[in-house]
Structure 1
Amino acid sequence: MLSQPEQTNQPSAEHSEGLQDSRRRLWASLTLLFGIGMSVLDSSMTNVALPAIAKDMDVSAAAVVWIVNAYGLTLVMTLLPLSAVGERTGFKRLFRYGLSLFICASVASSFAPSLPVLLVCRVLQGLGGSAIMCLFGALVRHIYPPKHMARGIGMNAMMVGLMSVIGPTIGTFILSISNWHWIFLINLPIGAIILLGVKYLPDVSPVKGRFDWNSAMLSMVTVGLLIVGIDYSSTYVWQSACLIVFGILTGIVLVRRSYQQPAPLVPVDLLQIPAMRFAIAASLCTFSAQMATFVSLPFYLQQEMSRPLSSVGMLMAGWPLGAALIAMVAGRLSNMFPVAALCGVGAGAMAIGLLVIVLAPASINDIWLMMAMVLGGVGFGFFQTPNNRVIIGSAPKHRAGALGGLQATTRVFGQTFGAAMVASAFSLSVSSGPTLGLSVGVTFASLAVLVNVIRHRQTDVSRTGG
C-alpha cells in the first residue's frame, strides 16, 4: 500500500504571501542567504585543500578526490527524499537539524585522523548540506511576498557567486597561516551564528501522511547509479553503461509508481506544468554548460592559451563575478519583461562569451579574455534569477518542499552531466580535449537558447489563443 501525504493543513494566508513582518523577513532572508553561502564556501575551500590533505594523510590524489565525491554523491542522492521529509516535519525544523548536522560533521572532519574517517564525516556533512539546500525553493516561496520574490532569488544568486569567487582565496589564506583542519573548523562559528536566525524562518504547517520509504530508496538508487555511471563513463565504459541502464530501469519503475500518487516524492506532478517543464529543461542545459566550462577552462587556458596558473585563477573569477553583479538587476527586470526572453538573452550571452574564448588566438590580451568570462557569467546570472522565479512560482504552495528538491537535483545532475561530457571529450583526444570541452559548454548554452525560444513562442501562442 502506497504511503500518501494528505494535502491538508495548507499554509496560512501569511505564509502563502510570504512573511509580512519586514523585520522578520529580513532576518529570515539573511539566515537562508548565509546558510546557502556557507555550503558553497565549504565546497570551494575543500577543493583547494585537497593537495594538503593528501600530503598530510599520505594518500594518492585519486583517493583524496573522494573527499569531494562522498559529499557530492550523498548530497544529490538525498535531495528529493529530504525535501519530502521537510514537508512532513516542517521546513524550519529540518533546516535546524540539517544545519546542526553540517556543523557537527564539519568539526568531526577537522579532527579526522585518517581518510576513511574523514569520508564518513563528509557523508554526514553531505546529509546536512542536502537538508539545507533542498529547502531553498520552499523557503524562498514562504519568506518573500510575490513582489519581492525576484529580489530574494537575486540576492541568493549574488551570494552564491560571491562565495564562489572568494572561497578559493579564503581557503588559500587559511592554508597559508594554518593547516587544512581549519578549512572545516571555520564552519563552527559561521554555522553557530546562522543557527541564531533559524527562529525567524516561516512556520509552515507540515503535511500529514507517512513517509514513502520505497520511493525514497528507489530515488536514491536511481540518482546514485546515474551519477556514478555518468561520472565514470569515459574511464569504465561497459561498467558505466550497465550502471546507467540499471539506473534508467529503476527510474522507470519509480516514475510509474509516482504517477499513481497525488503528491509523490519524485514530483512528476510538477513536471506536468508547462512552465515548470521548460524552466527545468533550460536549467539543466545551463548548469551543464557552466560545469563543462569550469572543468575545461583550466586546461584550455594553460595548454591552448599558454597562461600561467596565477592568471588562470584570476580569469576564471570573472564568471562568478559577472553572475553576482547581474543577479539583482536580473531580478528587477524579471518583473518588467517576459522571462523566456530574459533567459534566452542570458543563455545567448553565455554561448557568445564561451565562443569568443574558443575562437580567440593565444596572443589575445588577458583583458579580452576576462571580458569574455564576465560576459559568460553575466549571461548565467541573467538567466538564473528569472528562471528560478518561474520554477518557484509555478508550483502549488503545498508542493513547495518537493519543488526545492527538484530544483536542487536538476542543478547537481546538470553539473554532473556537463562534467561527464567533458571527461568523454578528453578521452577522445587529449590534445584537443580542452577545446572540445569548451565546445560542449557552447552547445549546452545554445540548447538553453533553443529551449527559451520555444518557450517564448508557446507563451505567445497561448496568449493569443492559438
Structure 2
Amino acid sequence: MSRLFATRPGDDGLPGPERRLAVLALILGTLAAVVDTTMINLALPTIARDLEVSAARAVWVTNLFQIVCAAFLLVFAAVSELVSRRRLYVAGLALFVLASLGAAVSRSLEVLLVFRALQGLGAAAALSIGPSLYRSIFPTRLLGSALGLSALVVAGGYAAGPTIGGLVLSVANWPWLFALHVPLGLCALVLAWRALPREPRRVGGFDGRGALLSVAMLGTFFLAMDGVGHGTPVWQVLAWLATSLVAGVLFLRRQRRASHPLLPPSLFREPRFSMAVSASGLAFIGQGLAFVALSFLYQQEKGFSPLETAWLFTPWPLAIMLVGPLAGRLADRVNPSLLASAGLVLLLLGLVSLALLDAGAGVVDGLWRTGLCGLGFGLFQPPNNREMMSSVPRELSASASGVLSTTRTVGQSLGVALVGAFLAAGAPVQATLWVGGGACLLALVASLARVSSAGKARVGCRGSAAGAASSRPD
C-alpha cells in the first residue's frame, strides 16, 4: 500500500503525501453511497410498517434512489468539466449529507421519497467522476493500483452494507440508517474540499438538450428494468422501453451535432475504450443476474436458510476485495487486456459450475463456486477499468468516468431484469445462470479482440518506427 503514496521524479498527479487525504476523501464518499444501496434494503419491511404503507410502495425507497442516481451519471460527468471535478464532488457530497439528514427525520413516505431522490442526485455527482479523480490524483504508472483500490472499496461497501444495516436495526430504528451517513459524509466533505486537486474549468457551453435526452433515456430504461423485476404490466414495460429507445436515438443524433456534446463521439473511436466498455457491460450483466438468481437458487431450490444464503454470497465480494488490489497492481506491469480476459475465464467457469449444481449440493459446494466467480470478477474489473481510463486523452477522462459508472449500473440492472423475465416465464433458476455465462462469454470475446487489436497496433508502430529509421540520412 505504501507504494501508492511514494513519489518518483517525473510523476504526474498529486505529490505522495497529498494523495493520502485525497484518496481518503474518495473512499469515504464512495462508501457512503455504495453502502446505502445494500443497507436500506433490510429496512424496507420496517419502513412499510412504521409509515403504514404497502411493501410494494416501500420498495420505491430503494428504487427511486437507484433510478435517479443512474439517470444523472452522464449529466454530472459533463457538468464536472464546467464547474471542476473538485467542486462537483464536494457539492454532491453536501447534497447527499443534507438529504440523508432529511430522510432520517421524514415521517411520511412522500417526504422520504423526495429526500431519497435528492440522495440519488448527490450520489450521482460523486460516483460519476470517481474514476477520473483517481486518474488525476495518481501518476499514470500507478493507475491500475489505484483502480484496484477503488474496486476493493466498492466491493467492501456492497459486502458490509447488509451487516451494517443488520447491526443498526438490532439496536435502533430505521431512521438511524440514514443518520449514519451524516458523520461519514461530513468527514469526506471536509477532506474533499481540502485535498482534491484544483483544476481549471472548461470555457464553453453545456448541452442542455442532450442532458434532458440522457436523463429521459436512462430514467425510462431503469423504470422498465425495475418493472420487469416487480411484475409491472407488459404494456407499461414496453412503453418505458419504447420511450427509452426514442430518447436514445435522439440523444445520439444530438451528440453528433452539439458543439459541446455530453458524450463526445471521439471517445468511441478508440477501439480499446469501446471494447473495454462492451466487456464491462456484459460482465456486469452476468454479475447482476447471478446475485439475484443465486438468492432463489439457494433458498427455493436448494433449501438453504436465509442465513446460509448470506454466507454463501460472502466469498464473492470477499474475493474481489482480496484480488482487486493485486490485479490493479499487476495491470501496471502486465498487459491489462490479458489480465481482464483471464478474469473473465474464471468468472465464466464459476457461473457454469453454479448452473451445474445438483440437488444434493451442500454449503461447501456453493462456497467455492461463488468464490471462483468473485476471484474472476476481481481479476477482471481493475485491469479493464484501467484500459477504459488510460485509452482516452486526459481531457476526456471525466466523460470516460461517466461512461464507466453508467455501464456498470446499466449492466447490473439489465441482469436483474433478465432474472425477473425468466422467472415470470416459468424458466428454472439455473437457466438464468446459463444466460449469465453467455454474457460473460461475449465479454471474453470482446476482451480477446482487444488483445489482438493492441498487438496489431504495437506491430504497426514498430514497423512505422523501423521505416522511419531506414529513411533517415546517415
TM-score relative to the length of structure 2: 0.92
Offset of residue 210 of structure 1: 2.1
The one of 160, 167, 171 equivalent to 1:173 is: 167
Cα offsets for 1:10-31 (capped at 9, x unmatched) = xxxx9x9643421111110111
Whether the aligned pair in 1 keeps the contact of 2:142 and 2:332 (CA below 8 Å) is no
| Percent pairwise identity | 33
Whether the aligned pair in 1 keeps the contact of 2:13 and 2:135 (CA below 8 Å) is no
Match of 2:243 in 1: 246
Offset of residue 128 of structure 1: 0.4
Alignment of 1:49-448 (within 5 A): 49-198=43-192, 199-233=194-228, 235-261=232-258, 263-429=260-426, 432-448=427-443
Match of 1:5 in 2: none
Q: What is the identity, as a one-letter code, of the residue corresponding to 2:420?
A: A
Whether the aligned pair in 2 keeps the contact of 1:141 and 1:392 (CA below 8 Å) is yes
RMSD (Å), alpha carbons: 1.7
Offset of residue 368 of structure 1: 2.7
Cα offsets for 1:57-104 (capped at 9, x unmatched) = 121111111011110111111111111111100111111111011001
Offset of residue 34 of structure 1: 1.7
Whether the aligned pair in 1 keeps the contact of 2:296 and 2:429 (CA below 8 Å) is yes
Offset of residue 140 of structure 1: 1.1
Measure the CA separation in 1 of the matches of 2:140 and 2:415. Answer: 33
Measure the CA separation in 2 of the matches of 1:438 and 1:184. Answer: 34
Q: What is the identity, as a one-letter code, of the residue corresponding to 1:438?
A: L
TM-score relative to the length of structure 1: 0.93
Q: What is the identity, as a one-letter code, of the residue corresponding to 1:320?
A: P
Measure the CA separation in 2 of the matches of 1:103 and 1:18. Answer: 32
Tell which deviates more after alignment, 124-133 or 21-30: 21-30
Measure the CA separation in 1 of the matches of 2:438 and 2:361. Answer: 23
Offset of residue 307 of structure 1: 0.9
Match of 1:449 in 2: 444
Cα offsets for 1:391-433 (capped at 9, x unmatched) = 111221112221221111111111111111111101110xx44
Offset of residue 129 of structure 1: 0.3
Tell which deviates more after alignment, 263-272 or 129-138: 263-272
Q: What is the identity, as a one-letter code, of the residue corresponding to 2:58?
A: V
* Runs of 4+ that moved beyond 6 A: none
Q: What is the DSSP-based 3-state SS (H/G/I as helix, E as strand, rest coil) of the residue aligned with 2:72?
A: helix
Q: What is the DSSP-based 3-state SS (H/G/I as helix, E as strand, rest coil) of the residue aligned with 1:197?
A: helix
Tell which deviates more after alignment, 224-233 or 443-452: 224-233
Measure the CA separation in 1 of the matches of 2:416 and 2:27. Answer: 27
Whether the aligned pair in 2 keeps the contact of 1:422 and 1:440 (CA below 8 Å) is no
Structure 1 unmatched ranges of 5 or more: 1-13
Measure the CA separation in 2 of the matches of 1:407 and 1:20. Answer: 23
Cα offsets for 1:308-352 (capped at 9, x unmatched) = 111000111111011111011101221232222211111111111
Q: What is the identity, as a one-letter code, of the residue corresponding to 1:205?
A: P
Structure 2 unmatched ranges of 5 or more: 1-7, 464-474
Q: What is the identity, as a one-letter code, of the residue corresponding to 2:329?
A: R
Tell which deviates more after alignment, 245-254 or 198-207: 245-254
Measure the CA separation in 2 of the matches of 1:458 and 1:163. Answer: 35
Tell which deviates more after alignment, 74-83 or 264-273: 264-273
Tell which deviates more after alignment, 97-106 or 134-143: 134-143
Q: 1:441 and 1:89, CA in 2 relative to 1: closer, same or farther beyond 3 A?
A: same
Q: What is the DSSP-based 3-state SS (H/G/I as helix, E as strand, rest coil) of the residue aligned with 2:400?
A: helix
Offset of residue 266 of structure 1: 2.1
Measure the CA separation in 2 of the matches of 1:227 and 1:404. Answer: 20
Q: What is the identity, as a one-letter code, of the residue corresponding to 2:184?
A: I
Q: What is the identity, as a one-letter code, of the residue corresponding to 1:238?
A: W
Offset of residue 262 of structure 1: 5.5
